[in-house]
Structure formats: structure tokens, C-alpha cells
Amino acid sequence: MERSASFRDFSLLIALLLIGAFFSVMSPQFLSSRNLSMMMIELAVTATLALGMLLVILPGHIDLSVGSGVGLIGGVASVLVFRHHWPSPLAMALGMALAVGLWTLMGAVIVRERMPAFIITLGGLLVFKGAFWLVIRNATVPVAAGGQANLYSLLTTYYLPRPAGYGLAAACLAAVAWAKLKAAARRREFGFEVPDGETLFLKLFLTGQLMLLFVVVMNQYRGVPLTVVVLGLVALAVFVVTEHTPFGRYLYAIGGNEEAAVISGVPVDRVIVAAYAVLGAVVAVTGFMQTAYSGASTTTVGELMELDAIAACVIGGTSLKGGRGTTLGVLFGALIMTCLLNGMTLLAVSPEYKYIARGAVLALAVWMDVRLSRN
């Protein structure tokens, strides 16, 4: 059977509508095409990191070092490109390799030494933060367009041509339709209930309308941002991994009951290390995008992003105990966080109140997770 709608699903939608309505009334430019485009770039950065965090939360772990890692990896690539004049692809590839290596090492320490992930990643937060400041020498490293810097800076400044946006939407809709039809065929093959053709058509029609609306709104400014395409690719990869591979099933099994997973023959240690390694790759991608979006590698890049990523996961229905969470839920949670932060920025809310709001949202999300888990 397909998962039925839950109270959380409706509460998230209602919360998003209320947040959007409030900020659109208080600040009319909230719904302007320019601000919506900028908000999509912010969403892409936050949601990409949150999707990586999902992979380590599912088996019941956590990572507090990703924010500092975003700054470090982005800083390493920036210094190589803009101070040592490395080609952007080579510098970013080295940053990616460094991130995967560091997070693989952390995952190995956690599983082999049986140490709490909270402590190891908290230590990583401090180590990476200090290393980041050493790499950039406590100075600002500008990320300028042009020359060798072009590929790096284009991550958050390039927009797809308007016709390409419509083509991308059509391709995505075709992929969704193919996936839905294939899933229905498999369910029918195994004797499970399958939605009727009319219901499937209505779902695809609604999905197509939403995609078209998104492209139309983005095209009113400059087009679909490249970062949104990056987010789409990361989301697709995480969805396929978690929903359609043995590795994904292992993540849910470990989070649901680790002892039962061990008895069932699941290679728990290898799966957890692999989850951290993939998170490292996601941290690298986020680091490149966040640094490019900031326009420079400074000591504040990545600050508190680990909390935004965790909040996006929990708001979207991921259990901090592990065993529950979806890609779509994380994207929805990240959208709520992005709308909240973007709206407060438009209203010129002071930083101290922003911190209070982020902390309150995180605490409320965890409280909801605990309350709903008891039901």
C-alpha cells in the first residue's frame, strides 16, 4: 500500500502557507521573481547539505561538523584557485577528495572505536573550523568571475536559458512519469494494490503544472539557477539510493533496530562508514556553492549550517533516533527553513532574533518528532 497522508504532512503544508502569507503581507517583495530566484539558490544550498545529513541520521547517527566542513572545503578550493591559480575543476576535485577522505576517517573512528558520533563530529567541528581559518589565513579570499575562476563562481551566478528551463521541466516530468509507471508495474507484478489510471494521470498532471509554474516564475527573472539543477541531481541520487538500493534499505534497518540488522547479516560498520563518506561528498558540493554564493571565502562561511541541515531533516519528518525519513520530507523541511530565514532578512530582523528563531524552530521540530513518535 502507498503511504497515507499523515498529520505531519498537512502541518508542514499549513506552516509553509502561513509563513509565506505572513512575509508576503509584511514585505511585498517576498513574492517578487527576483527574491524567489534568490530564495531558490538559498534553498539549494541548505537542502543539499540536509540531504547528506539524512544519510547519517537514518542509521541513528549525527554530524555536527558539516558547517565547519562547508567552510573548510570551500576555502581550500578558493585558495587553490584564487591564490595559487589552479584550474577550477582540479581544485574542486581535490576539495571533493579531501572531504570524502575526512568524513570516511570520521566514520571509521566512530564505528571501530565505538565512540559516540556526537563527540567525534563535535571535535571535527572545532578541528575543521581551526583548519579553515589557517587555510584562508583569517583573511577574505574573493570568489571573482572570469578566467580560471569562472567555473567556481558560475555555480551560483549562472542561469539556464529560458527555453532550456522548459526543456528541463519536460525531461523531469517524463522521468517522473516513467518512474511512476515502472513502480506501478512492479507492484502489479507482486500482487500489490495499484492506483487507477485516472489517479495516476491527475498526480502527473499536478506535478507537471507545478514544474511549469516554477519555470515560469524563474524565467521572469533570469531563468532557472544552476544551483537548483545541482540540488535536483543530488536529490535524485539520494532518493534512488535510499528507496531503490540495498544500501538504502540497510540504512533504514540499522536505524530501526541495529541488533536485528546485525543478526540479519547487514554489514553495519561498512554501511555507516559509507554513509559518512557520501556525506563528505555532499559537504564538498555544498561548500563550493555556499562559498560562491557568499562571493568570498571568509571565516563565517558555513556557520551554523549544521543546525539548519538537522532542522530541515527533523521538520521534514526524519527521526533523530533513525529508521525514518524521506528525501521529499527533507526538501520540504529545507523549504520552510529557507522561507523563514529569507523572510526575516527582508524584514531586516536583527541577527540575535534570527538565532532565537532558528533555535526555536529546531526545538519545536524535535518536540514534534518526540510527540509523534509516541503515538
More confident residue, 76 or 9: 76
User: Does 1 fall in a domain?
Assistant: no
- Indicate the number of domains in the chain: 2
Residue 141: what are its φ and ψ, rounded to 5°?
-110, 100
More confident residue, 357 or 366: 357
User: Does 229 fall in a domain?
Assistant: yes
Locus of grid cell 556525506: 279
How does the average pLDDT of the chain come out, rounded? 88
Residues 243, 349, single domain; the answer is yes
Condensed to tens digits (0 to 9), the pLDDT of residues 247-284 reads 999 999 999 898 999 998 899 999 999 999 999 999 99
Residues 208, 147, single domain; the answer is no
Distance of alpha carbon 102 from alpha carbon 281, whole angstroms: 10
User: Does 349 fall in a domain?
Assistant: yes
209-230 mean pLDDT: 92
Residues 199, 343, single domain; the answer is no
Q: Which residue, 118, 229, 121, is CA-closest to 169?
A: 229
What residues contact residue 78 under an 8 Å CB cut-off, 6+ apart?
Answer: 136, 141, 143, 152, 291, 296, 297
Q: In a 3-state reduction of DSSP, which class is residue 264?
A: coil
Residues 351, 362, single domain; the answer is yes
Q: In a 3-state reduction of DSSP, which class is residue 267?
A: coil
Distance of alpha carbon 332 from alpha carbon 326, whole angstroms: 10
Beta bridge partners of 159: 225
What residues contact residue 149 under an 8 Å CB cut-off, 6+ apart?
Answer: 81, 82, 88, 143
pLDDT at 374 over 80: no
Among 195, 224, 253, the domain-final residue is 224
User: Does 80 fall in a domain?
Assistant: yes
Beta bridge partners of 141: 297
Do residues 223 and 165 make contact, with C-beta atoms less than 8 angstroms apart? yes
Condensed to tens digits (0 to 9), the pLDDT of residues 17-65 reads 888 899 999 988 999 989 999 999 999 999 999 999 999 999 999 999 9
Among 208, 224, 240, the domain-final residue is 224
pLDDT at 225 over 90: yes
Residues 44, 149, single domain; the answer is yes
Q: Which residue, 51, 77, 81, is CA-closest to 66?
A: 51
pLDDT at 149 over 50: no
Residues 132, 252, single domain; the answer is yes
* Nearest-5° Cα angle at 307, 72 to 55: 80
pLDDT at 319 over 70: yes
Distance of alpha carbon 297 from alpha carbon 310, whole angstroms: 23
Q: Which of 98-107, 119-128, 272-281, 296-305 has the lowest mean pLDDT?
A: 296-305
Which pLDDT does position 124 carry in this prediction?
94
User: Does 25 fall in a domain?
Assistant: yes
C-alpha cell at 332: 520540504
User: Does 2 fall in a domain?
Assistant: no
Residues 102, 232, single domain; the answer is yes
Among 188, 209, 224, the domain-final residue is 224
Residues 64, 144, single domain; the answer is yes
User: Does 355 fall in a domain?
Assistant: yes
Residues 92, 129, single domain; the answer is yes
- Burial string for 86-118 (b: 16+ CB within 10 Å, else e) reads bebeebbebbbebbbebbbbbbbbbbeeeeebe
Residue 248: what are its φ and ψ, rounded to 5°?
-65, -40
Q: Which residue, 256, 254, 257, is CA-closest to 269?
A: 254
**Exposure of 262 in the CB half-sphere (CA atoms within 13 A):** 5
Residues 285, 137, single domain; the answer is yes
Residues 203, 245, single domain; the answer is no
The whole domain housing 216 covers 160-224
Distance of alpha carbon 185 from alpha carbon 189, whole angstroms: 6
Q: In a 3-state reduction of DSSP, which class is residue 195?
A: coil
User: Does 165 fall in a domain?
Assistant: yes
Residues 166, 154, single domain; the answer is no
Q: What would the DSSP string read from start to end of 87-114?
A: -HHHHHHHHHHHHHHHHHHHHHHHHHTT
Q: What would the DSSP string read from start to end of 197-224?
A: HHHHHHHHHHHHHHHHHHHHHHHTTT-S
Domain CATH number, residue 58: 1.10.3470
